[in-house]
Amino acid sequence: MKISASYWGRDVNEMYKFIEKCSKEFSVVRLSYWIFGLNHPSVISKLNSYRKKLGISYNVHMLWGNIDLSSNIKNIRLGSIAESKEAIDFLSSIGGGVLNFHPSLKPLFYKFFSSQEKAKLFGNEVESFKEIVSYAKDKGVVIVIENATSFPSNYPEFKRSCNFTFHKNIVDKIKYPNFGVNFDTGHYFQHSHTESLPLPKVFSMVGKRIKYVHAHDNDGSYDQHLAVGKGKFPWPEFLDLLNSYGFNGTLELELSKLSDQIMSKNYLLNLRPEYF
Ligand SMILES: [Zn+2]
């Protein structure tokens, strides 16, 4: 398993400084696709120079909330697929890696939709991801979908994505090797109390298809994004399960401060040095 740093900000120059600083501790960095101008040729060339000079590789978090891969409005869905393909091209141009999506947010008044209409939206999402995953296949890009949180609070169907039913359904329908689940530890833990969803059960549902991890902690009350080990998430059990399911991917420390990311890395290395 690898451990990755994470840049959450919105500014390209700040991102460069972050990469330079974190490269002393990490060899993988997550970038955020919502940064304006991220796929400009000059940014791509700078990121590639870091790759060569500092030995850095990248993963990317896709836009979320602004795209809708499940939409029944044709041009919104097609536009969302086109944006996703641009993000794949971007990631491919900086060496390839993992591109992380959230499940699509749902339209206003979704709760009044009939079960047929809901099934149609899910079918749209499956078709969109099939197209995206197949496009990414030869470009060195792995597509993952994260278990979301209840933010934004008007997201009517967050449970669907927090209890992994959505993830199980979609990975069962799309069997490409470059498609899987991003297990977000904090989002899981925030909801596991109410969902009564023990970790072994999640792993029995999607364990073989976990291809990436967002590692952060909380005390179970809300999505605090605390440093690893500073909340109540069961890290030893989680790492042992990942290992027993043959996970060989990246744990991204999805924390805003680099100091928290370094502290978290040391915590994980101390806990199970044999896995890293
Ligand atoms: Zn996350």
Q: CB of 166 within 8 A of CB of 141?
A: no
- What is the phi-psi region of residue 240: left when phi exceeds 0, alpha when psi lies from -120 to 50, beta otherwise? alpha
How sure is the predictor about 150, in pLDDT bands with cuts at 50, 70 and 90?
Answer: low
Q: Per the structure, how many domains does the chain have?
A: 1
- State in Å: Cα 116 to ligand 1 middle: 30
Q: CB of 101 within 8 A of CB of 133?
A: no
Q: What is the mean pLDDT of the chain?
A: 93
How sure is the predictor about 222, in pLDDT bands with cuts at 50, 70 and 90?
Answer: confident
- State in Å: Cα 236 to ligand 1 middle: 20
User: Average of pLDDT values for 106-130?
Assistant: 91
- State in Å: Cα 49 to ligand 1 middle: 27
- State in Å: Cα 134 to ligand 1 middle: 24
> What integer pLDDT is reported at residue 109 of this predicted model?
82
**For residue 154, is pLDDT > 50?**
no
Spatial CA neighbour of 174 closest among 222, 236, 128, 219 = 128
- State in Å: Cα 180 to ligand 1 middle: 15
> What integer pLDDT is reported at residue 251 of this predicted model?
98
In sequence order, the 6+-apart residues with CB closer than 8 A to the CB of 64 are 101, 102, 105
User: Average of pLDDT values for 6-17?
Assistant: 96
**Claim: this prediction has a pTM higher than 0.85:** yes
- State in Å: Cα 252 to ligand 1 middle: 9
- State in Å: Cα 200 to ligand 1 middle: 20
> What integer pLDDT is reported at residue 137 of this predicted model?
96
> What integer pLDDT is reported at residue 194 of this predicted model?
67
- State in Å: Cα 214 to ligand 1 middle: 5
* Beta bridge mates, 30: 6, 59
- State in Å: Cα 274 to ligand 1 middle: 25
Query: Structural domain of residue 194, as residue ranges?
Result: 2-275
Spatial CA neighbour of 59 closest among 260, 254, 275, 267 = 254
Q: What CATH number did the domain enclosing 91 receive?
A: 3.20.20.150
**For residue 155, is pLDDT > 90?**
no
**Rg (alpha carbons) of the chain, rounded to whole number:** 18
- State in Å: Cα 114 to ligand 1 middle: 30
How sure is the predictor about 47, in pLDDT bands with cuts at 50, 70 and 90?
Answer: very high
Strands (E), 179-269: 179-184, 210-215, 250-253
Residue 8's Cβ-count burial label (10 Å; 0-12, 13-18, 19+) is middle
**For residue 130, is pLDDT > 50?**
yes
